[in-house]
Amino acid sequence: MTSAGNIALDAIIDRTLAALAPIDPQQQPGDAPFLALRARQKEGSFRLAVLGQFKRGKSTFLNALLGEDLLPTDILPVTAIPTFIQSAESVTASVFFVHQEAPVTFEQEQGGRLGEFLQTYVTEAGNPDNHRQVERVEIGHPAAILKQGVVLVDTPGIGSTFRHNTEVAYQILPHCDAALFLVSPDPPITEAEITYLREVRELLPRTFFLLNKVDFLNEKEKVVSLTFLADQLKPLCDGTPQVLPVSARNGLAARLEQDKDLWKSSGMYQVEQNLIDFFAREKQQTLELSLRRRLKDQLNTQIMHLQLALEALRLPEADLKNRIDQFQEIMPVIEREKQASADVLVGDLKRIVAALTQQIESLRAAAKHQIMPKVEGVIESVADTEELERQVRTIVAAQLPVFFTPALRQVDDATRRKATDILSLHQKRCEQLIGRVRKTAAELFNVPYHAPLVEQVYAHFEPPQWSQELFVSDMDPLGQKISRKLMTKRFRHRRTVQRLREQTQKLLNENIEQMNWALRRGLDESFRRYGFELDEQLDKVIGATRAAMDIALQKKTTRHQQIEEQMALLECTITELQNLAQQCRVAEDLI
């Protein structure tokens, strides 16, 4: 809804794109963010995220709302992938991958349970550290609460031992419009949750607060917990927030047993009614406000770039050259820090590879210790050469996958966790360096510095794609028929025993080296690409900043009239974007 003095969101986007069209591409970041916002507005769906620390009962709460034991739950941290639940005629699911166009799909009519299907892709047990590189999961469900374009979002919990879960929980916020924030009594709300809530309140215009697991409390304990939580939330909210007590576990049981009294006493009935009322009265306004906040952020970023270009044009040529020289003076420092970061990245890669080498050698010894005694047992107990050949081949073929399948997973998980942690630290260093370049340029030209609300997200370590086929080959290259004709029985048996031992050891080494090669290749490629992407991002910021100065300096050599025309265009565009950003702020006050 828009008032007479309030410009519609789509009109603001259209006017922004029209205003930026005549501007030199080197003087502005581009129109991609505005096109993405327009697409999001046309989509029209309202994304309500269920947020909180791990094991607060988020998935159980969503199951209760949907009336079905749908999403996986466990005593350990479960949800590792953002899951979007939207309206559909029947239960369906699509799993989308980072580097695969076609999703994996599930339809209830095909048989099987969705929960079992999801275990493979969205849980730490089935997909540790996102081994399968799942981007998101979309579920279709006929629940009434999903009508009218509502999408519920199940998110990974913050604060668990799995750092990537916390990172995903932060990254999902810009894609949502409002939040249900779940807390439980044991433990009470944590500092990590308070920090996360500040980010939530900054990005999302509406947040509901729930105290889950109240079925474990008596009435006195419930009042104390609700009061404590409300007091902790006061500094983050305008006044004392409403906190609803619920038992998602009892609510789910009530839905499954169709027990209306238990549904009401669980607190889920009140939550459901509040949400229904919110969707009817405020959903569209909240969606509008959510999108306007993001639009305002993008407009401020554009304005800062254009102001830099304008101030560079306004300066006398001597002053402009002086500012360019000052900017260039910090470049050696930036380059040294960039090179130091690159050197640390190389060193970190070497350390991970060294740790991997130790793991590989330990596995080599473990494989020999586990498989060779079984081979020796057959050698000692079987006298017939042909039967010995057959039994050793059978044992080796059976033991290789038993040992190497969990070994592959174990080493890969440990390597990926180390790589992800290290690359996350390098990402933060690079972001700080980028922020320093932007802020320096803004200060040099007396332009207000605007730090984007949403930081750039870089790719994490990707798992190697090795073949799951093991090196099980024919262990008798000559063949028993030929050897029977050419050798005595005793000599042939002794030779077969020696060959079987050597061949078994060779197969173990080949599988170990296959694992080592695949992981080394994955590490080298991921670190190389990661370093390149960070360098490219930093170089792009430096290049764009310098380009604005160089363009201004070049125009100083052109006719005065052309400079005046360029300055007038920039001034006009900045004024237009500032007016549009103001419209976004006005809308926040009106909505």
Please state, as a whole number, how many other Cβ atoms lie within 10 Å of the Cβ of residue 90: 10
Q: Note the pLDDT of residue 308.
A: 84
Tokens of residue 408, six digits: 């592959």
How many angstroms separate the CA atoms of 210 and 354, rounded?
47
Angle at 54 between CA 49 and CA 58, to 5 degrees: 40
Nearest alpha carbon to residue 155 among 145, 138, 168: 168
Question: For helices 163-171 and 385-444, what crossing angle results, to 10°?
Answer: 50
CB 63 within 8 A of CB 56: no
Q: Note the pLDDT of residue 587.
A: 57
Edge-to-edge strand ranges of the sheet holding 243-245: 100-107, 92-97, 134-141, 83-87, 150-154, 46-52, 178-183, 207-211, 243-245
Please state, as a whole number, how many other Cβ atoms lie within 10 Å of the Cβ of residue 573: 24
CB 296 within 8 A of CB 584: yes
The pTM of the whole model exceeds 0.75? no
Nearest alpha carbon to residue 563 among 325, 308, 303, 310: 310
Decide: helix, strand or coil at residue 343.
helix
Distance of CA 44 to the CA centre of its chain: 23
Tokens of residue 531, six digits: 């370093």
Nearest alpha carbon to residue 104 among 83, 85, 118: 118
Nearest alpha carbon to residue 176 among 68, 63, 289, 270: 289
DSSP 98: T
How many angstroms separate the CA atoms of 552 and 48, rounded?
46
Q: Note the pLDDT of residue 221.
A: 92
Residues linked to residue 93 through DSSP beta bridges, in sequence order = 106, 139
CB 410 within 8 A of CB 463: no
How many angstroms separate the CA atoms of 275 and 517, rounded?
53
CA quadruple 65, 68, 72, 74: dihedral, nearest 10: 80
Listed in sequence order, the DSSP H helices in 382-467 are 385-444
CB 19 within 8 A of CB 578: no
How many angstroms separate the CA atoms of 225 and 33, rounded?
42
Q: How many CA atoms lie within 13 A of 373 on its CB side?
A: 5
Nearest alpha carbon to residue 48 among 211, 221, 192, 204: 204
Tokens of residue 241, six digits: 């927030």
Distance of CA 571 to the CA centre of its chain: 39
Nearest alpha carbon to residue 515 among 394, 582, 377, 415: 415
Residue 163 burial class via C-beta count within 10 angstroms: exposed 0-12, middle 13-18, buried 19 and up: middle
DSSP 117: H
Which residues are within 8 A (CB) of 303 and not within 5 positions of it... i.e. 6 or more apart?
450, 574, 577, 578, 581
Q: Note the pLDDT of residue 350.
A: 92
CB 137 within 8 A of CB 93: yes
How many angstroms separate the CA atoms of 160 and 164, rounded?
9
How many angstroms separate the CA atoms of 14 and 189, rounded?
43
Q: Note the pLDDT of residue 460.
A: 46
Question: For helices 268-281 and 58-66, what crossing angle results, to 10°?
Answer: 70
Residue 250 burial class via C-beta count within 10 angstroms: exposed 0-12, middle 13-18, buried 19 and up: buried
Residue 390 burial class via C-beta count within 10 angstroms: exposed 0-12, middle 13-18, buried 19 and up: middle
Q: Note the pLDDT of residue 477.
A: 47
Angle at 514 between CA 509 and CA 516, to 5 degrees: 95
DSSP 109: G
Decide: helix, strand or coil at residue 569.
helix
CB 313 within 8 A of CB 570: yes
Tokens of residue 99, six digits: 């580097």
Nearest alpha carbon to residue 163 among 352, 527, 421: 421
Question: How does pLDDT run along the chain (591 residues), one tens digit per residue?
Answer: 444 445 788 899 999 999 999 887 776 777 888 998 888 888 888 999 999 888 888 889 999 999 988 887 754 444 567 889 999 988 899 998 877 778 888 876 666 678 788 888 877 677 776 777 788 889 999 999 998 889 999 888 776 556 666 777 777 888 889 999 999 998 888 888 898 888 888 888 899 999 999 999 999 999 999 999 999 999 888 778 889 999 999 999 999 999 999 999 999 999 999 999 998 888 888 888 888 888 988 898 888 888 888 888 888 888 888 888 888 888 898 888 888 888 888 899 999 999 999 999 998 999 999 999 998 998 899 888 888 888 888 888 888 888 888 888 788 878 877 887 787 778 778 878 888 888 888 888 888 777 665 444 444 444 444 343 434 434 444 455 555 555 567 777 888 888 888 888 888 888 888 888 888 887 887 788 778 877 887 887 788 788 778 877 777 666 666 778 888 898 999 999 999 988 887 656 555
Decide: helix, strand or coil at residue 210.
strand
Please state, as a whole number, how many other Cβ atoms lie within 10 Å of the Cβ of residue 317: 12
